[in-house]
Amino acid sequence: MRSMRLTLCAGAVVAAACTPLAYAADAGVSVAPSSPAPGSDIQLRATGCTGQEGTAKSAAFVADAQLTGQGGGALLGETRVPTSLTPGTYEIKVSCDGDDGKVKGTVTVSPQGSSNASAAASPVAPVHAGGGGTAHFASVDAKATGPGTKQAVIGLVLASVAAVAVAVRSARRGHDSRD
């Protein structure tokens, strides 16, 4: 019985250590590139929404950005900065979970853009145009679709704890049966 308690306690400690603190504290919108130039395509990441869909609106966007859940409590989407936009800081409001402006952020449009901004004429992501259904697989990040290092370590720790518990229990049973 003691080994069962030990196993449960060890599992609880591992789970508590690897659990993120809180998504609500990180509520907001991040933009990549961080300082886009007029005409640039940008990617948005909104945290703080519990649903799987949202809409980001800003005067700095050609059109509202449709955001979708990608796991991990974040909504992702993309849009473009108008080529005629005056450089400056613009507010971003995200509607999610039935609330308008639940999550907010800003985007600073610069005349030149940041060093990682791409030219307006070149695409920044695969274009979904034919390809016999393979365009989707070209645009999926393999690292984001499978378990990562964190999950592998958690699995190994839990498996080790379980193996130790089984070995201790087996040793006790063998010792108790000899008496």
Contacts 24+ apart (CB under 8 A), 148-152: 150/18
pLDDT in tens, 10-69: 555 455 444 443 333 346 888 988 889 998 899 998 888 877 888 889 999 999 999 888
Residue 119 located in a structural domain: no
Give the chain's largest Cα–Cα span.
88
How far is 178 from 176, CA to CA, in rounded Å? 6
- How far, CA to CA in Å, does 24 sit from each of 27, 28, 67, 102, 161? 5, 9, 18, 11, 32
Indicate whether 9 and 35 sit together in one domain.
no
Tokens of 168: 């201790």
Does the residue 70 lie in any domain? yes
Domain that holds residue 104: 24-113
Query: Could you tell me if 36 and 108 lie in one domain?
Result: yes
Structure tokens of 178?
């000899």
Sequence-distant (6+) residues with CB within 8 A of 134 are: none
Please state, in angstroms and rounded to a whole number, the distance separating the CA atoms of residues 53 and 72.
Answer: 13
Any domain includes 67? yes
Name the pairing type of β-strands 41-47 and 28-32. antiparallel
What whole-number distance in Å separates Cα of residue 62 and Cα of residue 56?
11
pTM of the full predicted structure? 0.48
Report whether pLDDT(93) > 70. yes
CB-facing half-sphere around the CA of 155: CA atoms within 13 A: 6
Same domain, 80 and 153: no
Task: Check residue 163 and give its pLDDT.
Answer: 94
Q: Hey, is 173 helix, strand or coil?
A: helix
pLDDT given for residue 10 in this prediction:
54
Number of domains in the chain: 2
Residues 10 and 44 in one domain: no
**Is 135 a domain residue?**
no
Q: Both 31 and 105 in a single domain?
A: yes
Helix (H) or strand (E) holding 31: strand 28-32
The CA distance from 139 to 91, in Å, is 29
Q: pLDDT tens digits for 113-135?
A: 554 444 445 555 555 555 555 55
